[in-house]
């Protein structure tokens, strides 16, 4: 009779041990490492479909200077755009945490992303945080967020001068115009600028052209001085207000817009689009709602 309580306790302990899941952390780390290698190989092969398969159906990709891409198709589209530059990706894990349940894991690490741009070789480096979930026998990325360690490039408008202002007639043919990448803090990459006349960084009159790739969007911003805008090609999208998300109107080649100074606006381009701006310098871009 005295042995029964002991036997009962031993049985309960045995059942508890049998039902407690033992997490093989080393195995999870190995599988995450495999996912990283497959990601690197898919980037090298410019295979957006293979990259998308590494993500869960409800995954979210949060890249810097861009809206979150939600779901596999949006993530595939985002990566397909990045792969046009024929990049090379390297991922280095610094830490992996595995939940006691064995079906969730978190990874932190660093990356390098190299490609050849219009100005030559470019290498970005930064850090990332990834959450993964076990779907059946496979691990899938659920949340993917990363950001660069490099400082934002300074706006290049002030240093681009093609024709100095003067009191003589000047003619610039379209074939003579040279477009250069225009990087503005808070804006996506991809916009290009060509100076038609004057110095947009100076205090006199200027004329410039901006070229946007198809699907480009720009955030709410304003200019201290007024803009005279003419659509030359494509479809230009513009909405007025200090926050994105409001209604935008489409403007076609030949349409003219006058935008007063300090009036916030946002928009983008439906297809590859070229607009021409002229005004009194300096041409400056300030994000709406951001202090100087």
Domain boundary among 148, 181, 216: 148
Residue 122 lies in a domain: yes
Asked whether residue 136 falls in the same domain as residue 183, the answer is: no
Domain boundary among 148, 177, 211: 148
Specify the CATH number for the domain of residue 246: 2.60.120.10
39-53, 154-168, 174-188, 263-277, range with the lowest pLDDT = 154-168
Rounded to whole angstroms, the Cα distance separating 246 from 75 reads 24
Q: Which two tokens stand for residue 53?
A: 């398969």
Rounded to whole angstroms, the Cα distance separating 213 from 232 reads 14
125 strand-pairing partners? 112
Give, as one character, the DSSP assignment of residue 84.
Answer: G
Q: Has residue 134 got a pLDDT over 50? A: yes
171-185, 195-209, 274-288, range with the lowest pLDDT = 171-185
pTM more than 0.95: no
Domain boundary among 148, 177, 198: 148
Q: Has residue 212 got a pLDDT over 70? A: yes
């Amino acid at each position: 009779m005295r042995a029964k309580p002991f036997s009962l306790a031993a049985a309960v302990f045995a059942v508890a041990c049998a039902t407690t899941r033992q997490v093989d952390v080393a195995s999870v780390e190995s599988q995450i490492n495999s996912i990283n290698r497959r990601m690197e190989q898919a980037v090298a092969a410019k295979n957006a479909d293979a990259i998308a398969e590494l993500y869960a159906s409800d995954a979210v990709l949060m890249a810097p200077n861009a809206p979150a891409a939600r779901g596999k198709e949006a993530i595939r589209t985002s990566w397909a755009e990045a792969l046009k530059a024929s990049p090379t990706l390297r991922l280095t894990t610094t830490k992996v945490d595995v939940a006691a349940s064995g079906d969730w894991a978190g990874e932190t690490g660093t990356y390098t992303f190299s490609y050849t741009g219009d100005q030559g070789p470019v290498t970005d480096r930064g850090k990332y945080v990834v959450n993964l979930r076990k779907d059946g026998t496979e691990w899938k990325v659920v949340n993917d967020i990363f950001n660069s360690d490099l400082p934002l490039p300074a706006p290049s408008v002030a240093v681009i001068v093609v024709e100095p202002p003067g009191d003589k007639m000047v003619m610039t043919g379209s074939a003579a115009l040279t477009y250069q990448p225009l990087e503005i803090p808070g804006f996506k990459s991809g916009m290009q600028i060509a100076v038609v006349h004057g110095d947009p960084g100076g205090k006199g009159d200027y004329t410039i052209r901006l070229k946007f790739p198809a699907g480009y969007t720009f955030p709410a911003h304003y200019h201290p001085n007024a803009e005279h805008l003419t659509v030359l090609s494509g479809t230009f999208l513009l909405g007025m207000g200090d926050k994105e998300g409001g209604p935008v109107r489409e403007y076609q080649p030949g349409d003219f817009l006058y935008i007063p100074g300090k009036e916030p606006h946002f928009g983008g381009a439906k297809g590859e689009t070229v607009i021409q701006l002229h005004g009194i310098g300096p041409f400056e871009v300030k994000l709406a709602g951001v202090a100087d």
